[in-house]
Chain A
């Protein structure tokens, strides 16, 4: 079963706007990761946030993690048409649960030029 659930399933915005995607999960985690997938391609790692971190930045990406609510958000600022892709959150469970990187259903982001 999928550990993470993304919200919304689909998001359509205009170029220049910010895009926010949310992820909820069920069990305790070691870290949470966000990946991007362009149509017909493999997944590309974007950012990793550890369970003891609350916020992380990478370029136009900002990720937050709330372990008490078991949720994370990915913010893409000043979006571009090239950001159009599916975005997945993935959780790595705690050490006792092994190294299973479990993916959510994904959010399809469309950035209109």
Chain B
């Protein structure tokens, strides 16, 4: 398996624009996580899914953020409208089972100018 695949690797966008980050989890994994990493706040869990169903979105900072998982092999994290403070590295991770290790993608570095 190629591991967790995220796209794009880098995204630069202007304030107010919509941003969509994409993730393909490892085949067979039933949990998918979206994290955000910044120098100030470290690694924050935004939302996680189990079997394509959102379980906990309490980490989603604002209504500007939304995440979907239409099927077992694809998830998106959307920010609309984007703001400079959304600049961060966004990671997607997946796991098999609830109590196991997570496998991370390479991340998407988002810069909002």
Contacts and interface: CB of A to CB of B under 8 A. Distances in A.
A102 interface: yes
Given A31-B99, A101-B102, A103-B35, 9 more contacts: A42-B104, A42-B107, A48-B100, A88-B43, A92-B98, A99-B55, A99-B98, A100-B48, A101-B93
Contact of A45 (B45, B56, B98, B103): B103
Interface string B87-113: 000010100001111111111000000
Contact of B56 (A48, A88, A98): A98
B46 to A, nearest CB: 11
A33 interface: yes
Q: Chain B interface secondary structure, helix, strand, loop or mixed?
A: strand
Interface of B: 4, 31, 33, 35, 42-43, 45, 48, 50, 55-56, 91, 93, 98-107
B42 A2 contact: yes
Contacts of B100: 48
Interface residues of A, number: 23
Given A30-B99, A42-B105, A45-B103, A101 B45 contact: yes
A97 to B, nearest CB: 10
11 contacts: A2-B42, A31-B99, A42-B104, A43-B93, A45-B103, A48-B101, A88-B43, A98-B55, A99-B50, A100-B45, A106-B42
